[in-house]
């Protein structure tokens, strides 16, 4: 379209009026510039201006120096709509605060919602919702149903339905149940109503890792009692932690877990988690309970006392709104187990219960390796037994004798008949499940904390003194001084020689 302006200039110039046409006088031009002319007269002036260049120049020059109209005084502010008056600075600040509160609420509650939306949570919810009358004191069956879907805490719930299991497991369960009952009673004694009993039962059910480990092969062995914090990935702890640590007992070539030394354990505490180091330095509890129990999340007293809070608590439990504080992802029982005895066991549990450890190599943290670390309680860690639970015996081997202490610093020979036959070299105790070995590949096993002993025969060609016992739920691995490794997957009934 560049050609048209040139054409236009030419034709417009051709239509310019000559000098002969009468120009508007100064009055009319002034009136036109001041817009005081009538419309008809104004059109006439405009038409003349369109064709008269001198008059356009006059108008342009005159308007260029025209005094700009003074600013008119506004007598009243412009009317503002009523709804616009709401948008005051105070309203804006309040709206900002409200928005931030909503965002904070959503950020804090979203992980919990995701947790309860999982299939496990749905099972728990349905179970609890279907039996609202049983909420204060849930029946064992209900507990079992809940245990199927819940996280590690619920998986260690009392296993009454498992009573129909094979006899061997029933035995193991009985011992576990007794241990569980011991812990549960301690908690229940502090709780008055059924709500407290429920919370205590959950805590207690999570307590004995031995019972939990014996319950099934998929039961988590490593568990701790770190309360969930908001900055922790709760989804991982609640839904994945137990599965990640599930030992695969069928895998027989797993390397044993490294046996931590005392010094190394302490350094691990210091480097892995400062909080755990603080807990490890706690003095003994005057009540005789395990100090490690302090790691278990404390129950808010206000939620235990008033009935309203109790109802709200049970309702929240039914709906799956587990409080991050009340739902430890790592079980307290792993740390409060009296059978684990010495701090070496404690340290081993703690090391594996750290979130970083779990996330870094959860698949390697199997039950056997865990038990390997727990074997420290046999001898080396015995002097620190005062930190353990007073209800569980503590074992050690001294001068070829198997010694047992009930926590009163009084040691007794736990297997006096062996003095003439064998010389003990190693003991492994997990609760009331005690394995002890000595010279000539001798191995004895007690399921009742040393009350009764069974002699276990490894194999015809077993030789050497037993130097290591790694006991899991049903799997036991024994090493002798002749570099023989015997393994049993059925609790010691049959043994296979793995390597020599």
Partner 1 sequence: MSSGPRPAEANALSLKGLFEKSGGERYGLTLQAFGVVLEQVAVKYVPQASPQQKLEFWRDLKLEELALARACAAGHDAAWQAFLTRFREKLYDIARGITKEDSSARDLADSLYADLYGTSEKEGRRVSRLNFYMGRGSLEGWLRTVLAQEFVNRYRKTKRLVSLEEQAEEGVQFSATPSSVPVSPLDSRLGAALDEALGLLSGEDRLVLASYYLDDRTLTEIGRMVGVHESTISRRLEKLLKGLRKQVLAGLVSRGMNRAQAEETLEADVRYLQVDVTRKLQENRPAAFQQDKGSD
Show the tokens assigned to 136. Answer: 């204060």
Closer to partner 1 by Cβ: residue 25 or 399? 25
Contact present, 349 and 280 (Cβ < 8 Å)? no
Place of tokens 């998929």: 218
Contact present, 180 and 160 (Cβ < 8 Å)? no
- The minimum distance between CB 69 and partner 1, in angstroms, equals 12
Please, how many CA atoms are within 13 Å of residue 178, restricted to the half-sphere of its CB?
Answer: 14
Listed ranges 6-14, 333-341, 342-350, 355-363: which one lies at the site for partner 1 (CB under 8 A): 6-14
What's the CA gap between 466 and 455, in Å, rounded? 14
Binding of residue 34 to partner 1 (CB under 8 A): yes
Whole-Å CA distances, 330 to 14, 228, 260, 292, 498: 98, 9, 21, 13, 33
Residue from 20, 21, 22, 31 that binds partner 1 (CB under 8 A)? 31
Listed ranges 33-41, 116-124, 142-150, 393-401: which one lies at the site for partner 1 (CB under 8 A): 33-41
26: three-class secondary structure by DSSP: helix
- The minimum distance between CB 66 and partner 1, in angstroms, equals 7
Enumerate the β-bridge partners of residue 437.
Answer: 426, 443
Closer to partner 1 by Cβ: residue 10 or 455? 10
What's the CA gap between 318 and 198, in Å, rounded? 13
Binding of residue 185 to partner 1 (CB under 8 A): no
Question: 37-66 mask for partner 1 (x: CB under 8 A)?
Answer: x-----x--xx-xxx-xx-xxxxxxxxxxx
- The minimum distance between CB 21 and partner 1, in angstroms, equals 14
Question: 10-29 mask for partner 1 (x: CB under 8 A)?
Answer: xxxxxxx--------xxxxx
The single-letter DSSP state of residue 381 is T
- The minimum distance between CB 7 and partner 1, in angstroms, equals 6
Q: Residue ranges of the alpha helices (H) in 338-445?
A: 343-353, 355-360, 367-374
Closer to partner 1 by Cβ: residue 37 or 349? 37
Q: How many residues bind partner 1 (CB under 8 A)?
A: 48
Q: Residue 476: which region, alpha, beta or left (left: phi > 0; alpha: psi -120 to 50)?
A: beta
Closer to partner 1 by Cβ: residue 33 or 165? 33
Residue from 20, 35, 72, 409 that binds partner 1 (CB under 8 A)? 35
User: Binding residues for partner 1, per CB under 8 A?
Assistant: 1-16, 25-31, 33-37, 43, 46-47, 49-51, 53-54, 56-67
């Amino acid at each position: 379209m560049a050609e048209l302006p040139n054409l236009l200039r030419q034709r417009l110039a051709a239509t310019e009026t000559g000098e002969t046409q009468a120009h508007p006088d100064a009055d009319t031009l002034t009136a036109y510039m001041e817009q005081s002319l009538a419309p008809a007269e104004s059109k006439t002036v405009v038409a003349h201006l369109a064709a008269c260049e001198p008059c356009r120049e006059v108008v342009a020059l005159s308007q260029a120096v025209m005094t700009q109209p003074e600013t008119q005084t506004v007598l009243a502010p412009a009317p503002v709509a009523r709804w616009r008056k709401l948008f005051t600075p105070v309203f804006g600040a309040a709206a900002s605060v409200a928005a931030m509160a909503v965002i904070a609420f959503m950020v804090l509650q979203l992980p919990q919602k995701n947790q309860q939306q999982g299939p496990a949570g749905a099972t728990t919810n349905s179970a609890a919702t279907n039996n609202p009358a049983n909420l204060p004191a849930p029946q064992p069956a209900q507990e079992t149903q809940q245990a199927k879907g819940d996280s590690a805490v619920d998986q260690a719930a009392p296993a009454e339905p498992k009573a129909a299991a094979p006899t061997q497991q029933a035995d193991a369960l009985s011992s576990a149940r007794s241990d569980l009952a011991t812990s549960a009673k301690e908690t229940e004694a502090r709780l008055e109503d059924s709500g407290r009993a429920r919370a205590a039962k959950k805590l207690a059910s999570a307590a004995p890792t031995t019972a939990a480990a014996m319950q099934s092969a998929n039961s988590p062995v490593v568990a701790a009692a770190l309360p969930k914090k908001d900055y922790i990935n709760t989804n991982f702890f609640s839904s994945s932690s137990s599965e990640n640590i599930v030992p695969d007992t069928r895998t027989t070539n797993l390397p044993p877990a490294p046996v931590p030394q005392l010094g190394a354990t302490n350094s691990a505490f210091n480097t892995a988690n400062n909080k755990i180091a603080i807990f490890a330095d706690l003095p003994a509890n005057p009540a005789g309970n395990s100090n490690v129990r302090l790691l278990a999340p404390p129950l808010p007293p206000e939620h235990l006392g008033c009935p309203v809070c109790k109802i709200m608590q049970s309702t929240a439990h039914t709906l799956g709104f587990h409080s991050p504080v009340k739902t430890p992802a790592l079980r307290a029982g792993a740390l409060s187990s009296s059978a684990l005895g010495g701090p070496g066991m404690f340290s081993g549990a703690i090391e594996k219960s750290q979130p970083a450890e779990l996330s870094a190599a959860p698949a390697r943290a199997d039950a056997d390796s865990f038990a390997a670390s727990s074997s420290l309680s046999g001898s080396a860690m015995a002097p620190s037994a005062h930190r353990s639970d007073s209800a569980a015996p503590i074992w050690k081997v001294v001068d070829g004798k198997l010694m047992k202490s009930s926590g009163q610093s009084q040691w007794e020979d736990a297997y006096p008949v062996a003095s003439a036959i064998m010389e003990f070299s190693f003991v492994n105790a997990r609760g009331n499940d005690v394995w002890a070995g000595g010279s000539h590949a001798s191995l004895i096993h007690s399921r009742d904390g040393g009350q009764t002993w069974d002699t276990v025969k490894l194999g015809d060609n077993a030789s050497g003194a037993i130097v290591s016992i790694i006991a899991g739920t049903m799997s036991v691995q024994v090493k002798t001084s002749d570099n023989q490794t015997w393994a049993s997957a059925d609790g010691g009934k049959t043994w296979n020689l793995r390597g020599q």
